Amino acid sequence: MGVPAHMLEQVVLTLDEFETLRICDLEGKQQVEAGESMGVSRGTVQRLLVKARAKVVDALLNQKILVLVDGFDQEVPETRKYNERNSNRDSQ
């Protein structure tokens, strides 16, 4: 029996991060191709992939729930601590 979802810490994955994972990891496209199909640069794709992969691995390894949102302005309130903690770590 698992832990109810409402008791798990949440990890926010934006739709851009999710789409980048889908294109690169599921469809197997190169970052340049992904950037062309998304209308962004290869550097943006790389940045999105790094963030998305770290979030997915964190959720899987630490029994957290992934929450998909359409941009940062629609962030789930319970996830703010996670994002603030990890953005502080990333900037160090």
Boundaries of domain holding 23:
5-90
pTM exceeds 0.85, yes or no: no
Distance, CA of 10 to CA of 81 (rounded, Å): 10
**pLDDT tens digit sequence for 46-86:** 999 999 999 999 999 999 999 999 865 555 555 444 455 55
Which amino acid type is present at position 82?
Y
Q: Tell me how far apart the alpha carbons of residues 62 and 15 are, in angstroms, rounded to a whole number.
A: 22
Q: What is the CATH number of the domain that holds 35?
A: 1.10.10
Residue 75 and residue 12: Cα distance in Å, rounded? 7
Residue 43, Cβ density class (10 Å: 0-12 exposed, 13-18 middle, ≥19 buried): exposed
Report the number of distinct structural domains present in the chain. Answer: 1
